[in-house]
Amino acid sequence: MLPVDMHRLQELVRLHRLATGPRQTARLLGVSSKTELRYRRLLAEAQLLDGDPDVRPELDVLKAAVRTQIPDTLPLQESSVVEWTTEATAMLEHGTTPKAIFDRLRLEHGDLGGSLSAIKRLCDRLRRSSGVRPQDVAIPVQTAPGEVTQVDFGYVGKLWDPVEGRLRRAWVFVMVLGYSRHMVVRIVFDQTVHTWQRLHVEAFEELGGVPEVVVPDNLKAAVIRAAFGVDGVAVLNRSYRELARHYGFKVDPTPVRSPNEKGKVESAVKYVKHNFFRPRSA
């Protein structure tokens, strides 16, 4: 049996005295239904479950009631979702968020024996044990309302194209307002100049305005080799400059050596990819 700390056993008694059902009690305590049942039976045998909900059994009394099940050498508490450590570790390595991990595990296994909070705590422990990754560190950028928007593409794998009726390589386009973090997201099947410009127009229309500055990623449709006017492909940057002139915004490409200065949009791309695409491919 998984060990449960004495304070949670006090809460188990209180919830039982309030006529809380076993499944809800297990969820509120963050333990599996099996663990809740075993402890409830032990406490029932010790005649501790009946009484006033406002009167808590003493910790020593509770410990005596379950001492045969919890050796003193064991820790007082263990994660209710510890059995999912291997799966959670694999999905975390693919960048999947705790919420997406929780949803994926519930979809595949049903009752996990723990709550979303338990999965989050498990993921926190796994992250701490693996240390901080350089790609997880970004420099916060503060901007005024309407001043800056940031844009990026993120590859999401092959998706079904309903127009062509087949699987195709797909990207997610994300535009994020620097001040409010409001985002516009589109799925596309190419990174052509025409698509890049069309997505800007659609995003401006949805946002109801145009920001002063647009910060794009280093894409061939927006910024050629992190600079303007590269021989042989100048037509691409010229078309983007013309778009900027037409809508009255400035283009400020992210320095190629400072990718983390574009933290807002890359966080948004990561959010979209990890919550809507990674869980199914991890």
Quote the pLDDT of residue 282.
Answer: 42
pLDDT at 123 over 60: yes
Output the pLDDT for position 203: 94
pLDDT score recorded for residue 74: 40
Q: What is the pLDDT of residue 217?
A: 64
Tokens read off for 282: 């991890």
Using alpha carbons, list the distances in angstroms from residue 215 to 17, 46, 75, 170, 237: 59, 67, 51, 22, 14
pLDDT digit string, tens, across residues 26-37: 888 878 888 888
Q: What is the pLDDT of residues 141-197, one digit of tens each?
A: 567 788 888 888 777 888 889 888 999 988 888 888 888 888 899 988 987 778 888
Q: What is the mean pLDDT of the chain?
A: 76
pLDDT of residue 55 exceeding 80: yes
Q: Is residue 245's pLDDT more than 80?
A: yes
Q: Are 184 and 121 in contact (CB under 8 A)?
A: no
Q: What is the pLDDT of residues 98-118, one digit of tens each?
A: 888 888 888 888 777 788 888
Among 144, 154, 107, 152, CA closest to 253: 152
C-alpha dihedral (25, 31, 37, 42), degrees to nearest 10 = -100
Count H helices, E strands: the chain?
11, 5
